[in-house]
Amino acid sequence: MVKNLTAVCVCWCALASMSLGAQRAPDRTAIRKTTTVPALLTYPLFFHNQPVRIRGELSGTDGQTPWYLSADNRQVMVMPSRKTGTSAALPAPGQEKLTDITGYFLDVGRLEQGDPRATQDLGELSERLVHKPWPGPGELLVLVAERTVTAERLPAPSVRALALDPDRYVGQEVSVVGRFRGRNLFGDLPDAPGISRWDFVLSSADGAIWVAGRRPKGDNFDLNVEQRVDTGRWLEVRGTVRLDRGLVRIDALDIRGAQAPPPSNDADLTVQLPDKGPPPEAIFSAPTQDETDVATTAPVRIQFSRDLDPKTIKGQVSVGYFGPAPQGASATPPTSTTTYDEGRRVMEIRFATPPEPFRTIQVKLMPGITGTDGQPLKPYTLTFTTGR
């Protein structure tokens, strides 16, 4: 980590502790994510309990729930938020049309029945659709609608437009402007395309997409996908839109520096989350699970679904070689240090000396790690193989 950035973080934390006391107040806000129905269904753990914006065909039966939002031959159940009610959240029968929904997404089985979000409606829905009082993880996925509006025609292609309605642009050559976010250093997206070590995320407002095929380098800039210090740069990317496994990406033909656009006037980009939540879980890693040809100098980053208590991390992270050692290779695990970024809920593991090439490395997180409310982290293991 860059030294002056560390110093700024230390100073901020000192000021925070003076005003908040010894224990840091957990941040219960989140940036809404613009995504698609297939992405919700493919990565339910990543989007669980997250505010989202979705576009699709909304249909249902008057006076009954659930309704369904459909896109790309996939559909997700929709229920109105208690804040809005059915009449405010869902259109009348016969008026179904392309609709934009803002709300939040729940994998209901990951909630306990006593959770504030676990309403009686969800219990009744489980009885009716899953045939048991409460579903297991993955058995009941629900989009809770807080606002629905008729979808407006999207203007010129943008990062948000591609994230919201990628089917309209797949196979087309487009040019968009966004902020460079490195190799998903801020956990904007649930998975990586795994095309090359130069893949990076481009974001704007509440939308984010992947860029692949070109190193983020041009006139007067050469950006490192592993360094957060480079993530303030705005880029214009020209290329062809692709959609794979729910991930929207541009196969880049050209990358140039760009000016930052005017600030978004969308007032509800930042959303307040409920105070109580489920046990924290690992939702994204770089390298990704079972990735090969990982640079020996690359750090390991793991993002979590909820805030962790930093005091519980020490001694609960195991890093070592996995499997039999090749002849002549070291059996001693590589020395590493672990840090945790509370603001981004990201753990970073850096090696004091690079691990050996072509070795499988395993990272284990133990259940002694807890969230800020004492909920134990679900055990997690990440395995990847280094390259040359």
Q: What is the pLDDT of residues 157-202, one digit of tens each?
A: 999 999 999 999 999 999 999 999 999 988 899 999 989 889 999 9
What's the whole-number mean pLDDT along residues 25-34?
Answer: 66
Domain chopping of the chain, boundaries: 29-150, 159-257, 279-385
> Tokens 């360094």 label which residue?
227
Q: Is the CA virtual torsion 326, 331, 332, 333 positive or negative?
A: positive
What amino acid occupies position 58?
L
Name the percent of the chain lying above pLDDT 90: 51
Q: What is the pLDDT of residue 365?
A: 95
Which CATH number applies to 279-385: 3.40.50.2020, 2.40.30.30, 2.60.40.1220, 2.40.30.170?
2.60.40.1220
Topology of domain 29-150, CATH: OB fold (Dihydrolipoamide Acetyltransferase, E2P) (2.40.50)
Highest mean pLDDT among 85-89, 146-150, 355-359: 355-359
Would the pLDDT of 93 be above 60?
Answer: no
Q: What is the pLDDT of residue 333?
A: 84
Highest CATH level, class, for 159-257: mainly beta
Angle (CA) 334 337 339, round 5°: 150
The conformation of residue 161, written as its DSSP 8-state character, comes to H
Angle (CA) 73 77 82, round 5°: 150
**Contact, 211 vs 239, CB < 8 A?**
yes
* 29-150 and 159-257 have identical folds: yes
CA distance 336 to 349: 6
Would the pLDDT of 296 be above 80?
Answer: yes
What is residue 87's three-state secondary structure?
helix
Contacts of 128 (CB under 8 A, 6+ apart): none
**Contact, 147 vs 81, CB < 8 A?**
no
Would the pLDDT of 242 be above 60?
Answer: yes
What's the whole-number mean pLDDT along residues 205-226?
Answer: 93
Pick the closest to residue 99 from 117, 82, 75, 122 (CA basis). 75
* pLDDT tens per residue, range 304-347: 988 899 999 999 999 999 988 888 888 888 899 999 998 788 99
**Contact, 173 vs 192, CB < 8 A?**
no
What's the whole-number mean pLDDT along residues 268-292?
Answer: 77
Q: Is the CA virtual torsion 383, 384, 385, 386 positive or negative?
A: negative
pLDDT band (50, 70, 90) for residue 266: low
Would the pLDDT of 206 be above 70?
Answer: yes
Q: Which residue spans within 81-165 are E strands per DSSP? A: 98-107, 141-150
Would the pLDDT of 3 be above 50?
Answer: no
- Show the tokens assigned to 181: 């976010």
Pick the closest to residue 67 from 103, 35, 31 (CA basis). 103
